[in-house]
Amino acid sequence: MPPCWGQNPFELAFSLDLAQHRDSDFSPQCEARPDMPSSQPIDIPDAKKRGRKKKRCRATDSFSGRFEDVYQLQEDVLGEGAHARVQTCVNLITNQEYAVKIIEKQLGHIRSRVFREV
Query: Which CATH number goes with the domain that contains 110?
Result: 3.30.200.20
Q: What integer is the mean pLDDT of 91-105?
A: 91
Q: Could you tell me if residue 88 is inside a domain?
A: yes
Q: Could you tell me if residue 83 is inside a domain?
A: yes
Distance CA 40, CA 36 (A): 12
Q: Could you tell me if residue 12 is inside a domain?
A: no
Q: How many domains does the chain have?
A: 1
What's the DSSP call for residue 101? E
Distance CA 57, CA 25 (A): 60
Q: Could you tell me if residue 40 is inside a domain?
A: no
Q: Could you tell me if residue 99 is inside a domain?
A: yes
**Length of the chain, please?**
118
Q: Could you tell me if residue 33 is inside a domain?
A: no
Distance CA 76, CA 63 (A): 26
Whether this model's pTM surpasses 0.95: no
Residue ranges making up the domain that contains 84: 66-117
Q: Could you tell me if residue 102 is inside a domain?
A: yes
Distance CA 54, CA 51 (A): 9
Q: Is 53 annotated as a binding residue?
A: no
Give the tens place of pLDDT for each residue, 11-68: 555 555 555 555 555 555 667 777 777 777 777 766 556 666 777 666 556 666 788 8
